[in-house]
Amino acid sequence: MQGNALCLMLTVTCGLSYLLYGYDQGFMSGVLIANGFLRTMGYPSTFMQGLVTSIYEIGCFAGCISSMSFTERLGRKKPIFIGTILVIIGAVLQTTSYSLAQFFVGRVVAGLGTGLNTSLIPVWQAETLPASKRERFGTIQYLLVCTGASISYWMNYALSFAGGELEWRFPIAAQIIFALLLLAFLPFMPESPRWLMVHQHPDQALAVLMKMHGTSDAQDNEVQLEVSLINQAIELEDLAGANNWRNLFTNRKDTQNLRRLMLGWWLMAMVMLSGVCSIGYYISYLFETSVGLSHELSLLLSGFNGLWYLVSAILPFFVMRYIGKRWCLIIGAFGMGCCFLTMALTIRNGGYAASMICVIAFFLYYTFFALGYLAVPWLYCAEIMPLHLRAKGNAITTSSNWIWNFITVMITPSTMGTQGWKGYLVFTVFNFTFIPFIYFFYPETSGRRLEEIDAIFYKTSPIVAGTQWAKRGNFDAGVLGRVLAEKLDEEPTKGITEHVSKVE
């Protein structure tokens, strides 16, 4: 395979890991209200239900942090293989559990694998896909998050009629199928060409770039330009001494690694503070306890909600290329804030008509989340990191996702149970607060090569509102060459100059 076929297959392979993540959100929503599970586990309290669900995120957090210590040596593919094996072991432990203790262990082990995978997969995809295809194929990948959630919601509904042990054990075991598919596809996928270049395998890197661009000509203009830009980025980072992980926490004017790290860390925090996992993990529970619907209707609406989420996830594919990532984030935050405000007011009202409006708000929430916060943060965090430190930096930013995931999932049952409609106002405030932060501090990266994104952080201000960095497509593609020339006290290469003329 090569060209679009290889890009699509790589996207599906990466997406299978996110399908597992979405599937976990969905099946726990049904497991927590399954009588067989509650009976087997001794009818745990709402606190224990929150803990047994959210402990998965602690495992994910540990998987992200641990990846910093060894993944750069192994490449991008081998750690993902290790992570997927851990997911399978964790699924087996959960499926065979007859006590909360074993279920806890299974959740943590599965979380370790998912954390490891999600810290590397965005890096692998961002470094391997051509810039012109990164957004389009990246958004397709995250459709599989919604696919996983939708599959699990409908499986929960179907198995609710079976009852007993089958109702909750089978949905847990079914995730092993998706993990095995990921293991089957992984050996046939290419290694990251940028990792190969950094680790002195230029011939292999060139071969991968040719395949990804769909050409057999090593002198192809796009391939040679990408090779040139990667080499320039490597040289610049070597001159700046930016290949030590401690440099992630420094903010030199010519690299601004700490600024990049903070942008990614807080963006991942926004994903969780938007309330997505509070709804994703507990939607059946919230329909039943907050909105007051019956058990069967709650499960049925959860299934339709999963389908709506899946349809909504198509939006970024069509929208992102026209408005860019920044406006996807801003519009998404505004819409989610309005949805949570509607949920709070209608739950406070408590009437039949208000309940119907509340259900609609739950559905619309996923539309706005899919537009701005489903795919964009994962792509964005990998894009803005420097080449030598991309795996380590992305591990730290992804760990933010998991630690805030743990906090929000842990507090949701007790918060919504004790505070009622007021609990929804917490996420209302968070979502509206995101808007000015995105507008002022987050540059646009859509359509730019990873090495061109480095130019955004070369002696620039952290406030990007009103500058060329806030606008899609308005950038100087040759700035990286001139920066290198400035450092080496020589002129930019002819090839880069010619490319700038073509872009202009």
- Which among 504, 502, 459 has a CA at the least distance from the CA of 480? 459
pLDDT score recorded for residue 495? 40
C-alpha distances in Å from residue 356, one per residue of 158, 287, 304, 362, 426: 24, 11, 14, 10, 22
Residue 494 has pLDDT above 60, yes or no: no
Residue 31 has pLDDT above 80, yes or no: yes
Q: Looking at the domain assignment, is residue 82 inside a domain?
A: yes
- Once rounded to an integer, what is the mean pLDDT over residues 350-367? 86
Residue 341 has pLDDT above 60, yes or no: yes
Q: Looking at the domain assignment, is residue 446 inside a domain?
A: no
CA distance 407 to 504: 47
Q: For position 262, which CATH number holds? A: 1.20.1250.20
Question: Of the given ranges (16-25, 352-361, 465-474), which has the lowest mean pLDDT?
Answer: 465-474
- pLDDT tier at 458 (50, 70, 90 boundaries)? confident
pLDDT score recorded for residue 485? 58
pLDDT score recorded for residue 346? 87
Please provide the average confidence, as pLDDT, over all residues in the chain.
84
Residue 108 has pLDDT above 90, yes or no: yes
Q: Looking at the domain assignment, is residue 55 inside a domain?
A: yes
Residue 496 has pLDDT above 50, yes or no: no
Query: 382-402 burial, b for 16+ CB within 10 Å, e for fewer?
Result: bbbbbbbbbbbbbbbbbbbbb
Residue 293 has pLDDT above 80, yes or no: no
Residues 6+ apart with CB under 8 A from 420: 290, 347, 348
Question: Of the given ranges (282-286, 355-359, 473-477), which has the lowest mean pLDDT?
Answer: 473-477
- Once rounded to an integer, what is the mean pLDDT over residues 192-217? 90
Q: Looking at the domain assignment, is residue 212 inside a domain?
A: no
- pLDDT tier at 478 (50, 70, 90 boundaries)? low
Residue 482 has pLDDT above 70, yes or no: no
CA distance 146 to 346: 26
Kindly write down the DSSP assignment for every residue of 241-281, as one continuous string: TTTSGGGGG---TTT-HHHHHHHHHHHHHHHHHTTHHHHHH
Q: Looking at the domain assignment, is residue 320 inside a domain?
A: yes
- pLDDT tier at 437 (50, 70, 90 boundaries)? very high
Alpha helices in 290-389 (DSSP H): 295-312, 315-349, 352-369, 376-384
Number of domains comprising the chain: 1
3-state secondary structure of 385: coil
pLDDT score recorded for residue 492? 44
pLDDT score recorded for residue 389? 82
The fraction of the chain above a pLDDT of 90, given in percent, is 30
- Once rounded to an integer, what is the mean pLDDT over residues 253-257? 84
Residue 170 structural domain: 3-193+255-441
- pLDDT tier at 447 (50, 70, 90 boundaries)? confident
Q: Looking at the domain assignment, is residue 211 inside a domain?
A: no
pLDDT score recorded for residue 486? 61
pLDDT in tens, 299-312: 788 778 878 888 88
The fraction of the chain above a pLDDT of 70, given in percent, is 90
Question: Of the given ranges (120-134, 178-192, 277-291), which has the lowest mean pLDDT?
Answer: 277-291
Cβ atoms of 205 and 85 within 8 Å: the answer is no
pLDDT in tens, 128-166: 988 778 877 877 777 888 888 788 878 888 888 887 888
Residue 454 has pLDDT above 90, yes or no: no
pLDDT score recorded for residue 210? 93
CA distance 270 to 373: 8
Q: Looking at the domain assignment, is residue 99 inside a domain?
A: yes
| Phi/psi at 44 (5° precision) | -65, 150
pLDDT in tens, 52-101: 888 888 899 999 888 888 888 888 999 999 999 999 999 999 999 999 99
Give me the half-sphere count of Cα atoms (radius 13 Å) on the Cβ side of residue 427: 33
Cβ atoms of 279 and 25 within 8 Å: the answer is no
- Which among 386, 473, 456 has a CA at the least distance from the CA of 126? 386
| Phi/psi at 384 (5° precision) | -85, -10
Q: Looking at the domain assignment, is residue 217 inside a domain?
A: no
- Once rounded to an integer, what is the mean pLDDT over residues 113-129? 90
